[in-house]
Amino acid sequence: MAKEQLQVLSALDAAKTQWYHFTAIVVAGMGFFTDAYDLFCISLVTKLLGRIYYHVDGSLTPGSLPPHISASVNGVAFCGTLSGQLFFGWLGDRLGRKKVYGMTLLLMVICSIGSGLSFGHKSSSVIATLCFFRFWLGFGIGGDYPLSATIMSEYANKKTRGAFIAAVFAMQGFGILAGGMVAIIISAVFKSRFPAPAYAVDPAGSTVPEADYVWRIILMVGALPAALTYYWRMKMPETARYTALVAKNAKQAASDMSKVLQVEIQAEQAKIERFAADKNHTFGLFSKHFLRRHGLHLLGTTTTWFLLDIAFYSQNLFQKDIFSAIGWIPKGFTMNALEEVFKIARAQTLIALCGTVPGYWFTVALIDVIGRFGIQLLGFLMMTVFMLGLAIPYSHWTTPGNHIGFIVMYAFTFFFANFGPNSTTFIVPAEIFPARLRSTCHGISAAAGKLGAIIGSFGFLYLAQNPNPKLADHGYPAGIGVRNSLFILAGCNVIGFLCTFMVPESKGRSLEEISGEAEEDGEKV
């Protein structure tokens, strides 16, 4: 038998879409905008860092980051993100969503600025400083995942909750887009102010001294949206679900939500005390009760996010093939340093505009119609189809004249990742677990995803190298090739499709109904 719902939670579930919903989406979403900007802007400037700090006199090609340095610069933020997801996810359930929410944003502001600074001018000191601040930047970003998802799920009504959480996550697309646009503007301004010959004409002169400011400015701009959002984040009240169900403060929950919803809500302390006395609402993460009720759900959310991120982040493997094939990025020696930044940024912006952003917003529009389960299954299925479509006739796609088809297939894999598991794996863990463990379980699920991202970004970077050692990228050992790597990624998507069946559909149900908090002691959902 279901328990009588607290009035404050019933009011939230039934609330019509109001201004505070949009305010919450923007405030939480700007965190994700910043996250995406900070995580992805590094790929725009790695070639520039190579030219500035790893130039080799007499070399026919511009300087580039050695493989271990490149892996560190690109991957250290992912390691920080994984740690932050676990730590801040746990802390969000201990101290409250709002208290921890400000910490993560402050950390992101400080470390975005720190990333653009360096101690000394030697390559080793610059890279060490960059990696140090990128790790702690990632740590702050990691906290934003469970907290933003949990706050939005606990604020939303049950009819449009999926769309609201998806809209927060969709701000990632705009963050990636903004990173490309900022890099285009900064590089264009410096390029016109400090003209330089191509590397082939004058290797030393092709990288002007002022280029050192370009990568620093691009990285430091990431502090702006986070700093602008901080005030509004601190003004948001704690979520009623945390205040009532975890902190057990009925009066505060009713007071906060009365202001937000602009309706009179009664404090029901006696109900909360009965709720607190129920053993059904006191079991811990490592208890048999949790394992029986939610163990399969947590396994489902962690495995699907892990497998999705292997495939999603590995898509960078063939970006260089596409960009080079269609002439968006010519060979490095034909350009100066700032021109190369400009062309890389232009390419990333076009990919974000055509494939990444639309997929996110298709999810926003349809998730409360189709449901999370259907969208995730469709996404994994279509990613498998398009990756096999790239892999089976790979030699056909890479011959001159067939590149347009390659680009279309590539764009569709991105589209169905975002209109699919990249969005739903973020949404579902914020809905299916009890309030006192919601942020922790989301953090664990997100950390599993980030582990997949590390494998996808770096494991496959080595694995996808040409089997012929002479044709592998400079500094890398021979691998199994891009074609065979694509077959493995398609296999990851198939397993992700199957693991989706461990995750329940949460469309149109209250959070307490999904998590079992609305059930009497001893009942199972």
Number of structural domains the chain divides into: 1
Q: What is the mean pLDDT of residues 127-141?
A: 94
pLDDT of residue 512: 86
d(CA 262, CA 251): 16
Which pLDDT does position 20 carry in this prediction? 81
509 vs 157: CA distance, rounded Å: 10
pLDDT over threshold 80, residue 521: no
Q: Is residue 509 within 8 Å of residue 426, measured between CB atoms?
A: no
DSSP assignment of 452-481, as one string? HHHIIIIIHHHHTS-SSTTTSPTT----SH
pLDDT score recorded for residue 169: 92
Picking from 310, 510, 507, 321, the residue whose alpha carbon sits closest to that of residue 407 is: 321
Q: Are the beta carbons of 105 and 161 closer than 8 angstroms?
A: no
Structure-token pair, residue 179: 């990173």
- Residue 89's pLDDT is what? 95
Write out the E strands in 383-433. none
pLDDT at 275: 73
In a domain, 525, yes or no: no
CA distance 140 to 111: 9
Q: Please provide the average confidence, as pLDDT, over all residues in the chain.
A: 87
Q: Which residue has the higher pLDDT, 258 or 506?
A: 506
> In the prediction, which pLDDT does 16 show?
84
Q: What is the pLDDT of residue 525?
A: 37
> Which residue in 135, 34, 39, 28 sits closest to 348, CA to CA?
39
Strand partners, 519: 2
Check pLDDT > 50 for residue 523.
no
Q: In this model, does residue 181 exceed pLDDT 50?
A: yes
Q: Do the domain assignments include residue 272?
A: no
pLDDT in tens, 347-387: 888 878 877 788 889 999 999 999 999 999 999 999 999 99
Q: Is residue 78 part of a domain?
A: yes
Identify which has the larger pLDDT, 320 or 115. 115
pLDDT digits (tens, 9 = 90+) for 277-323: 766 667 888 889 899 999 999 999 999 999 999 988 887 656 665 66
pLDDT at 236: 85
- pLDDT of res. 9: 83
pLDDT top residue among 169 and 524: 169
In a domain, 213, yes or no: yes
CATH number at residue 345: 1.20.1250.20
The answer to whether position 109 is within a domain reads: yes
| Continuous segment of H or E residues that includes residue 303 | helix 288-314
pLDDT at 219: 94
Measured at the CA of 124, the angle between CA 122 and CA 126, to 5 degrees, comes to 70
Residue 524 maps to a domain: no
Q: Which of 487, 414, 492, 498 is nearest to 455 (CA)?
A: 492
Residue 410 CA to residue 249 CA, distance in Å, equals 51
Kindly report the pTM of this predicted structure. 0.91
Boundaries of domain holding 191:
7-264+283-511
| Residues 238-290: tens digit of each pLDDT | 888 888 888 888 888 888 888 877 777 877 777 777 776 766 667 888 889 89
Q: Is the distance from CB of 483 to CB of 497 less than 8 angstroms?
A: no
Q: 500-524 as b/e, with b when 16 or more CB fall inside 10 Å? A: bebbbebbebbbbbbbbbbbeeeee
Poorest-pLDDT segment among 112-126, 166-180, 306-320 = 306-320
Q: Is 350 contained in some domain?
A: yes
Eight-state DSSP code of residue 519: B
Q: Is the pLDDT of residue 1 over 50?
A: no
Does residue 271 fall inside a structural domain?
A: no
